[in-house]
Structure 1
């Protein structure tokens, strides 16, 4: 997953304003008590950060890949 794809999914699945706020502000245990933005800034893979964010928000697997039926779901790790 590329950074561009990460942000597209944030906007599509979580909503652009709310999702981007969560990326900046929600501290995630799975990311070592960092926000998704901090993890990305530290060089964590966008795919891992996306899964951690979705896990914390209890986004079902079927809903994690947005509205594009051709988007392939990246493996967890």
Structure 2
């Protein structure tokens, strides 16, 4: 997964007006309390970041 796909998936799930705010503000336990933005900046693989988002948002299996 590429970073652009991560951002597109976030936008698809949370909406264009909210996904960037959520990614910058919501801490994810699976990422040791990092936000999406922090995790990406820290070099966490985007697939790992997406899986943490997927779990936090309780998305259906087809979105994994």
- Which structure has the highest helix share of the two? 2
Q: Distance in 2 between matches of 1:54 and 1:19?
A: 13
Q: Distance in 1 between matches of 2:52 and 2:10?
A: 12
Unaligned segments of structure 2, at least 5 residues: none
**What does the per-residue CA deviation read over 1:1-47, in whole Å, with 9 as the maximum and x for residues that have no partner?**
00111111111122122222111100011000111110000001111
- Which structure has the highest strand share of the two? 1
Relative contact order, higher structure (CA 8 A, sep 6+): 1
Computing the radius of gyration over CA atoms, which structure comes out larger, 1 or 2?
Answer: 1
Q: Distance in 1 between matches of 2:23 and 2:52?
A: 11
Residue 57 (structure 1) aligns with: 57
Unaligned segments of structure 1, at least 5 residues: 65-72
TM (normalized to structure 2)?
Answer: 0.87
TM (normalized to structure 1)?
Answer: 0.74
Q: Distance in 2 between matches of 1:31 and 1:23?
A: 12
